[in-house]
Amino acid sequence: MQVPFTVVFEPPSRAEVRTLSRSWRFWVRSTVVLVIAAAPLAVMFVGYHLVKQHQIQVATAAVTITSAPAGAVVDLDGSQRGQTPLTVAVIPGSHRVALHLDGYAGSTSMVSPADGQSVQVHTTLWLAQPQLTQIRSPLPGAAIANAQFLKDGQIALTATLPPSPERQLWVLDERGPRRLGPTGINGPLAIEGNGQRIAYAAAAAGSASTASLSQLWVTNTRGDAPRPVSSGSDNGQPEQIADISWAPNGTHLLVASQRQLTDGGGTRTRLLWVPVDGGEPRELAALPSQVIPGSYVWGSSSRVAFLVKSGSVASLCLLDTASGRLRNVTDLAGDAGSSTLFAPVAWTADGGRVAYSGPGLIALNQVDRLFGGQAHTALFTTDPDATSSQQVTVFDAQDPTWRDDGSLVVLGKPRKGPGVAAYVLGSSGPLQPLATMPLTGQLAGVRWDADRSAALIALRDSSQLADSQLNYWLVRFSPGGPQ
């Protein structure tokens, strides 16, 4: 070879390119070269995502899931993971927890643990076919005027003995009905939540009229002599004590003192905050309407919901007894609203949030929207100190209660057939069917004992409404409910 030498690079001719492109060897070699060149990039890409995935999995959270009763099958994000009680490691973020147990309605909730956080979810499962027991008057011929749960799960009944105005207080327990309190009470009476004391209205000692209901009395259920309590109803006006309710802590009574106006008729009702063990009563509000007796639903020892009636219109009110602030929340619609027994309200445990049922609007189509929609009973939530509410359902829903998992249970008509249906509204979506009960009549009110998964449902003959006999049913959504 002769040096130096010269190397000359020239582009291939078109004929050479055409010849080369027809060669299968060219394409094989080109593919191999591309794969070899891209391999490092692919390795880097996959390695990067594996590292990121590993970092997320290392920063785990945990969810501990329990239920009553235990043994429910747990589906986490659509994958079956075991039975309660169960602790599962999860990545941070939102997760859907569904529980299933034979004989019980399913339950679904959402949890969102943060990085490194451990979250607990407890759910009380409710029977898909609740146990129904009709509550009958303890005396033949007597009528049940009111019913309520006591703190221990027993049921207290107020019975009236027509044609006289006499009222009697009874408690239902595992031994059967048991009468409490003094005899011959012709006015309002109320039992303390723990079942230890009774307050009632009667004539003052030495009064010439035994029909007067101006004096408030308190006694215990052991049969000791009653003692008078200053109610503030004697303010120089001819007032009568129309209703009484115990505050949950037993330190005060909420008393409705009422008088009839002589000029033009009408009623004036004063709401009085009465200390039970001494102290001066305080007037909270004066209303140009009547308080519906026994309609109170307490949220705490200072906040209460109740119903008032003016003419044929019933209204839902919230009252803060500490500040005296009264909020007129809504009017209840129609004949069914005016014959409602109890405030259709549920309070959160701290009393800081309220769910209630009231008239809502649902627009079924464009024509309905133009003419205002169709009236129905909807579910609302609100802060008791706010001035507005948020509608949370467009399906008929009434008489709510909060459950321990934060979901709301409401009653309404079944989607198919007769009866009364229970629905649940959780964080995971719209109303879901919970149970259907073969009960007939117009819902007149519901008392809930959510801690024991039980309800007292009052029904009227739908053809008579306010003038009809009330039928009370104890509904147990849990086998461990009150007997």
Per residue in 341-379, pLDDT tens?
A: 899 999 998 888 999 999 886 644 443 444 445 557 889
Type of residue found at 53:
Q
| Tokens 């009252």 belong to residue | 319
pLDDT single digits (tens) 13-50: 666 556 655 665 655 666 766 667 666 666 666 555 55
Question: Is it the case that residue 471 has pLDDT exceeding 80?
Answer: yes
Distance CA 393, CA 390 (A): 9
Predicted confidence (pLDDT) at residue 189 exceeds the cutoff of 50: yes
State residue 445's pLDDT score. 92
Q: Kindly report the pTM of this predicted structure.
A: 0.81
Give the whole-angstrom CA distance, residue 256 versus residue 285.
10
Q: What is the pLDDT of residue 423?
A: 92
Choice between 447 and 222, residue whose per-residue pLDDT is larger: 447
Residue 87: pLDDT above 90?
A: yes
List the structure tokens of 207: 């009064």
pLDDT of residue 45: 62
Mean pLDDT for 179-187 is 89
- Residue 371 confidence (pLDDT): 41
Q: Do residues 156 and 144 lie in contact, with contact meaning Cβ atoms separated by under 8 Å?
A: no
pLDDT in tens, 314-351: 999 999 999 999 999 999 865 555 578 899 999 998 88
Mean pLDDT of 401-405: 87
Range in 80-89, 96-105, 221-230 the model is least confident about:
221-230
**pLDDT (mean) for 88-97:** 91
The label of the residue with tokens 């006999």 reads 469
Q: 356: closest CA among 390, 308, 407?
A: 390
300, pLDDT greater than 50:
yes
Of 250, 326, 254, which is closest to residue 285 (Cα–Cα)? Answer: 326
Question: Mean of the per-residue pLDDT values for the chain?
Answer: 83
What is the enclosing helix (H) or strand (E) of 336?
helix 334-338
Residues 122-179: tens digit of each pLDDT: 988 999 999 999 999 999 999 999 999 999 999 999 999 988 889 999 999 888 899 9
The Cα 26–Cα 45 span in angstroms is 29
Q: What is the pLDDT of residue 42?
A: 65
Contact 475, 437 (CB under 8 A): yes
Residue bearing the bigger pLDDT, 48 or 68:
68
- Reported as type and span, the H/E element at residue 368 is helix 366-370
Q: Which domains does the chain have, with CATH numbers?
A: 14-54 (no CATH), 59-124 (2.60.40.10)
Q: Phi and psi dihedrals of 48, rounded to 5?
A: -60, -45
Give the separation between CA 448 and CA 435, rounded to whole angstroms.
16
What is the predicted pLDDT for the residue at 361? Answer: 67
Do 355 and 345 form a contact (C-beta atoms < 8 A)?
yes
52's enclosing H/E stretch is: helix 24-58
**Beta partners for residue 179, in sequence order:** 170
How far is the C-alpha of 459 from the C-alpha of 447, rounded, in Å?
A: 12
Q: Given this model, what pLDDT does residue 25 score?
A: 64
- CB of 343 within 8 A of CB of 331? no
Identity (one letter) of the amino acid at 209? Answer: S
Helix or strand or coil: residue 478?
Answer: coil
Q: What percent of the chain has pLDDT over 90?
A: 52
- 203 vs 37, higher pLDDT: 203
Name which of 53-62, 101-110, 155-164, 299-308 the model is least confident about: 53-62
What burial class does residue 166 get, using C-beta atoms within 10 Å of its C-beta: 0-12 exposed, 13-18 middle, 19+ buried? Answer: middle
Helices (H) and strands (E) in the chain, counts: 4, 36
Strand 118-124 with 61-68, pairing: parallel
pLDDT at 236: 58
* φ and ψ of 450, to 5 deg: -65, -30
264 pLDDT higher than 90: no
- Map tokens 């749960």 to a residue: 149
Q: Are strands 252-260 and 267-275 parallel, antiparallel or unpaired?
A: antiparallel
CA pair distance 130, 150, nearest whole angstrom: 21
**Is residue 446 pLDDT above 90, yes or no?**
yes
**Contact criterion met (CB below 8 Å) for 314 and 332:** yes
Structure tokens at 220: 């215990």
Please report where in the chains the tokens 């209303």 appear, as a residue.
287
- Given a contact cutoff of 8 angstroms between Cβ atoms, the answer to whether 107 and 98 are in contact is yes
Q: Is 474's pLDDT higher than 90?
A: yes
The encoded tokens of residue 13 equal: 């001719």
Nearest Cα neighbor of 50 from 60, 42, 61 is 42
Q: Tell me, what's the pLDDT at 363?
A: 47
Task: Give the best-scoring range by mean pLDDT among 23-37, 187-201, 202-216, 365-379.
Answer: 187-201
* Per-residue confidence (pLDDT) for residue 425, from 0 to 100: 87
CA distances (Å), origin 90, targets 72, 86, 307, 426 = 19, 12, 47, 22
With cut-offs at 50, 70 and 90, classify the pLDDT of residue 233.
Answer: low
Q: Which of 244-258, 425-439, 447-461 has the lowest mean pLDDT?
A: 425-439
pLDDT value at residue 364: 42
- The percent of residues above 70 in pLDDT, for the chain, comes to 77
In contact, 423 and 415? CB cutoff 8 Å = no
Whether the per-residue pLDDT at 4 is higher than 70: the answer is no
Write the Ramachandran bin of 415: left for phi over 0, alpha for psi from -120 to 50, otherwise beta.
alpha
Under 8 Å between Cβ of 270 and 240: no
Q: Is the peptide bond before 238 cis (omega within 30 degrees of 0)?
A: no
